[in-house]
Amino acid sequence: MTRALIVVDVQNDFTEGGALGVVGGDALAGRISAFLRRHADEYDLIVGSRDWHDGDGDNGGHFAGAAGPDFTTTWPVHCVAGTPGADYHPDLDTAPIDVHVMKGQGEPAYSAFEGTTDTGQDLADVLFDRQVHEIAIVGIATDHCVRATAQDGLRAGLDVVVLRDLVVGVDPERSATALAEIANAGGHVDVSDMDEGIARPGGAQL
């Protein structure tokens, strides 16, 4: 079975000090890099996704106007293309990433499957071309973009695994609900070996 790892939105604006910083994001970047040092060669493809919003306009209502963000469908300005906030976190080792996809270019976007490569290919086509059947997901944020990416992966008929110790969320309760939703939809929620020091097979269903 061909396997891919998707690293979701480990960007400066989603980590401490960023426009939408998530607590634990800095540490997560380092943990994912350590995981990649151990396991990158176990994946046939590694994908990195990033929010990559237009600097002009509200990106289809994604950026809040004068009324301010509701933090559900409207947000502060973040991850504007070409700005430091849109860069990968400096502690994330991007060398193992084979394919980069950018999402939210002028419109709201959460799932990595809404992203495209520099050549305009969407993620589903990238995975199809590589004959990927299983995806493992890590990154930010559990209750938003990780959740949406897992849901789209399941809709695409892929075997989906979320490594719960390699994701961080905005809200603990919503993050727990998101993981439960993924499991109930047929996905898998597992843990990596980063704390145990023992490799575990991906896919123990929660």
pLDDT at 127 > cutoff 90: yes
SS3 content of the chain, % helix, strand, coil (to 5): 30, 25, 45
Amino acid at 108: P
Q: What is the pLDDT of residues 41-73, one digit of tens each?
A: 999 999 999 999 999 889 898 999 888 998 989
Catalytic center residues: 9, 103, 145
- For residues 162-183, b (16+ Cβ closer than 10 Å) or e, as one string? bbbbbbbbbeeeebeebbeebb
As given in the structure block, the two tokens for residue 180 are: 């439960």
Asked if 91 contacts 53 with a C-beta cutoff of 8 angstroms, the reply is no
Q: Give CA–CA dist 9/51, Å, rounded.
A: 7
Give residue 119's pLDDT.
94
Q: Give CA–CA dist 120/115, Å, rounded.
A: 9
As given in the structure block, the two tokens for residue 46 are: 């590694």
Q: What is the pLDDT of residues 169-190, one digit of tens each?
A: 999 999 999 999 999 999 999 9
Show the domains of the chain with their CATH numbers. Answer: 8-190 (3.40.50.850)
